[in-house]
Structures are given as structure tokens and as C-alpha cells.
Amino acid sequence: MEITRTPTIYPVILAVPEADQKLKTRARVENLSHHARKALDISAEKYGVVVKNLLKDEYGAPLPFDGNYWSVTHKPAYVGGVIANKRIGIDIEKIRSCSPALFKKTASDAEWSLSNEDAFILFFRYWTAKESVLKALGAGIRGLAKCRVVHVLDTHHLIIDYQDNEWIIEHFFFNGHIASVVKYDGDVEWKLLS
């Protein structure tokens, strides 16, 4: 029996031009979406597919096209996009301080005890990992309480359990930010573009 590995995925992160970061709220959101689609196009090109008919369901979750799943994310300074032949999710956050209440909401004491690395780095590893899984499933943030970190593999990988399914997450650190993507048994090649 031949085992087929998942093809390499290519998460792409684009820096948002400084002028675009200063736009008014509505224009900024539209602009960030535009940049995220550019990141998705680059990911798709590297993956060997052409992006077409990017539709979302009634809850705003991306719908696959031609057997290809996609995910985008955007923050004020960076956007990201990724495409794969399996459910996929990507998230980016700036690593910064946050409240103890947010720590408590994001993970249980048992989850926090899995690693002794810097608290804020660990917080954003967990947050972006859970967001990636929820995006892959189209569940949205309402599923956060059901997402559990069950194993921290190393400083760039961990495993999330969500509804009795385990998901491997890969992290990428850059310029005070972290990005996370759902990883299967194939490779992940991150691309950071200015």
C-alpha cells in the first residue's frame, strides 16, 4: 500500500505598507483584505493552483474551490494567506502583553502547565494555534473553549485537540509577531515578503 504525503503548503505573509496602515477604518479593512488576497494568490501559485471564485458560507467561513481550501488573516502591519488540499487555517498576532483574564479565557491551568516558556509568547502560540484550527473548520471564535492544547512538541509545533480530532500546528516568528498554520504530514515553507 502506497502512502501519500500531503503536498508542501506555502503560507505567505505580506507586510502592509505603512501608508495603508494609517487609512481610516473602513478603507483600512478593505485594503487589508486586498493585501491578504495577494498573499493567498502567491501561496496558490507556489502550490500550483489558480485561485478562483473565493466564496464564503453564511457565517463567513471560506468555502473550498476545486478541492482546494484556503484561509486568510490580517492584522494592521501584516496579512497572510495559505491554500491546501485539506482544511487549512492561518492566524497572525503581534506578541504583546495582555490581561490575566485573557489568559484564563484562552487556556486551562493544565494547558499552561505544558510549557515553561515566556508567558506572552506561549499565550500567542496557543491563541494563534486555536484560531488556526477554528478557521480550518469554519467554527469561529465561539469554539475557543472546546479547543485544547494537548502537547507542546517544541518551540515551533504543538498539538490541539478539537472535538476528538488532533491538529498539528506550526508557528513562525517574525518581527515581534507570530503566525500559526495547520500542518499535516507534509512540509511547510513560510514566505515573508516586505
pTM of this structure: 0.94
Q: Say which CATH topology domain 12-193 has.
A: Ribosomal Protein L22; Chain A (3.90.470)
Res 3: pLDDT: 57
What are the beta bridge partners of residue 93? 178
State the burial class of residue 50 (Cβ atoms within 10 Å of its Cβ: 0-12, 13-18, 19+).
Answer: exposed
Say how far residue 114 (Cα) sits from the centre of its chain. 21
Percentage above 90 pLDDT, the chain? 79
Say how far residue 134 (Cα) sits from the centre of its chain. 9
Q: What is the 3-state secondary structure (H, E, C) of 154-185?
A: ECCEEEEEECCEEEEEEEEEECCEEEEEEECC
List pLDDT tens digits, range 41-100. Answer: 999 999 999 998 899 998 888 999 999 999 999 999 999 999 999 999 999 999 999 999
Find the farthest-apart pair of alpha carbons in the chain and give their distance in angstroms, rounded.
57
Q: What residue spans define the domains of the chain?
A: 12-193
List pLDDT tens digits, range 79-91. Answer: 999 999 999 999 9
Do 167 and 160 meet the contact criterion of CB atoms below 8 Å apart?
yes
Average pLDDT over residues 26-31: 88
Report the helix count and the strand count for the chain, using DSSP H and E: 5, 9
Looking at residue 95, what DSSP letter applies? -
List the grid coordinates of 35. 493585501
Looking at residue 7, what DSSP letter applies? P
Average pLDDT score over the chain: 93
Res 4: pLDDT: 61
List the grid coordinates of 186. 507534509
List pLDDT tens digits, range 99-126. Answer: 999 999 999 999 999 999 999 999 999 9
